[in-house]
Structure 1
Amino acid sequence: MQSLVLGPQRIVCLTEETTEWLYLLGQEQRIVGISGYTVRPRRAREEKPKVSAFLSAKIDKILALQPDCVFGFSDLQADIASLLIKAGVQVTVFNQRSVDEIFSMLYQVAAMVGQAEQGLERLQAMRAELQAIQHKAAGFKRRPKVFFEEWDEPHISGIRWVSELLGMAGGDDMFPELAVQSLGKDRIIADPQTIIDRAPDIIIGSWCGKKFRPEKVAARPGWQHVPAVRNGQLFEIKSADILQPGPAALTDGVAQMHRIISQWVDQYA
């Protein structure tokens, strides 16, 4: 009797996190197209056709790949999803914004490709590592105030999962009231004086794929008195490591934040 093969066999991933996760699950053979922004794992760029940016996609190229499922992310890809649905393609669009929602999305993807058990084991290991980081951070004598800058012109503060991971890593997000806003335009800090007044101890930049320039931050008018600038506490975490709501943020991203904060605690707390 022929074995029953369940779940999508020809998947297009419009964002990076589902690609990385499918590779981690050993299911990369199911992927037939990826985002042009994909960098994790590096070999995906060499092995898979690049069919989309973030806000745009090559619909004809996607259809030519004959996908039986397309994975997308958020309302920002609604127009792409609509065109594909009208062409008869199954589209699953996730909208994870918090750490718990990231875990939920990853489990759903694992289940869809018949890897629920393996997925659960990997997610439990990630959760355990997060708890270990939180346990270490609980022993800090003082928690630094952290400004996470997602974009520089205008200033945009970190999204919810970044804010939550900062807290787990041992720091306090300086703009928690903005973190709950899912759209970047709603996290704009119009008056830079607000940032100066809140006096961050650490500034972490992740400028959505553009290289972070600490010297530009230090040269901003009035910022010379900000503790983070005065003490040289300006750091970059690559957007691929923290701004994609998937495995990268839960592992490498939070680990980098914890190292930065731990070093600050050792020096200034």
Structure 2
Amino acid sequence: MSIVHGPRRIVCLTEEPTEVLYALGEDWRIVGISGFTVRPPQARRDKPKVSAFTSARIEAILALKPDFVVGFSDIQADIARALVKAGIEVWIANHRSVEGIFDYILRLGALVGAAAAAQAYAATLRAHVDAVAARSAHWPRRPRVYFEEWDEPLITGIGWVGELVALAGGIDVFPERAAMPLARDRILADGGEVIARAPEVILGSWCGKKFRPARVAARPGWAAVPAVRTGELHEIKSSIILQPGPAALGDGLDAIHGVLAAWLTRHA
């Protein structure tokens, strides 16, 4: 008879713990997920949806009788507070870097008694990241990249996104903003800041809505931006880049690298 370690009834308030637990074969522990979950597809089909990102149905979560709830960032502090006051154990991770994602996978794996599986999974993801970085390491040119996370107001990318741009072969034009963990500190005063940085590629990932290249190109003064002049405006799906989990290290990194590799072919 095998001994089960760790929590048996987990609610995941964001997508990344759900994706990790499925990858580790520990999805049987999940009793509730975020309504924004799209990976893996079977999770969205099979698990009850009990939260958004900034809000959650506390009574619905309590009705599931979880013994552990996993969330992400200070934005979910109020949700966590309500659950803790109800006697639920809550872990709110706050990682904002590529290395933080790897560490998150290892910690979550250890919490559910799947440390070895987590180490193997993290090693596979790291090998992929290293392979992508190796392909771009000797490029003769690395394009300047502006990553736009939101359009009204203009918000540029967060830490792990800036790191993935670099690993994929680009140069983040707002590295000082990417280092800021809070969205309010990554808001640009106006479009003039982007014009001054002269990005050669614009990547858009508007959380929850479709990126509109034509709308970006029509902004006052942006006709002078190299990326706009050459039509290098590309969408990166928010579901594969804006959450600090496996998707960003896999499909997210691949999508950025694909755009930049194509740019190099056209502009080298």
Same fold by TM-score greater than 0.5: yes
2:128 corresponds to: 129
The whole-number CA distance in structure 2 between the counterparts of 1:245 and 1:22 is 14
When the two structures are superposed, what TM-score results if normalisation uses the length of structure 1?
A: 0.98
**Mapped pair 1:21 → 2:57:** no
What letter matches 1:209 in structure 2? G
Q: How many equivalent residue pairs? A: 268
How much does 1:221 deviate?
A: 1.1
> Which residues of structure 1 form unaligned runs of 5+?
none
Which residues of 2 match residues 93-172 of structure 1 at below 5 A? 93-172=92-171
With normalisation by structure 2, the TM-score equals: 0.98
Q: Residues of 2 paired with 1:138 and 1:102: CA distance?
A: 22
SS at match of 1:141: coil
Name the CA distance, whole Å, in 1 between partners of 2:61 and 2:155. Answer: 32
Match of 1:212 in 2: 211
Identity of aligned residues (%): 58
Deviation at 1:46, TM superposition (A): 1.3
Could you give the per-residue CA deviations for residues 141-176 of structure 1, whole angstroms, max 9, x where no partner exists? 100000000000111000000000110000000000
Distance 2:120 2:8 in 1: 23
Rounded Cα–Cα distance in structure 1 between residues aligned with 2:215 and 2:42? 33
1:5 shift after superposition:
1.5
Could you say which residue in structure 2 is the equivalent of 1:222?
221
For 2:65 and 2:119, the matched residues in 1 are separated by: 29
**Cα distance change of structure 1 residues 124 and 3 upon mapping to structure 2, 3 Å threshold:** closer
Q: Cα offset for 1:116?
A: 1.0
Unaligned runs of 5+ in 2: none
Deviation at 1:191, TM superposition (A): 2.0
Residue matched to 1:266? 265
Which string of whole-angstrom CA distances, capped at 9 and with x for unpartnered residues, describes residues 184-220 of structure 1? 1100011211101111100000011111011101111
Q: Give 1:97 deviation, angstroms.
A: 0.3
1:181 aligns to what? 180
CA distance in 2, matches of 1:212, 1:235: 8
Give the letter for the 1:28 counterpart: D
1:25 Cα offset (Å):
1.2
Deviation track 1:21-64 (CA, whole Å, cap 9, x = no partner) reads 11111111110000010011112111011000101100000000
- Alpha-carbon RMSD: 0.9
> 8 Å contact 1:209–1:238 — kept in the other structure?
no
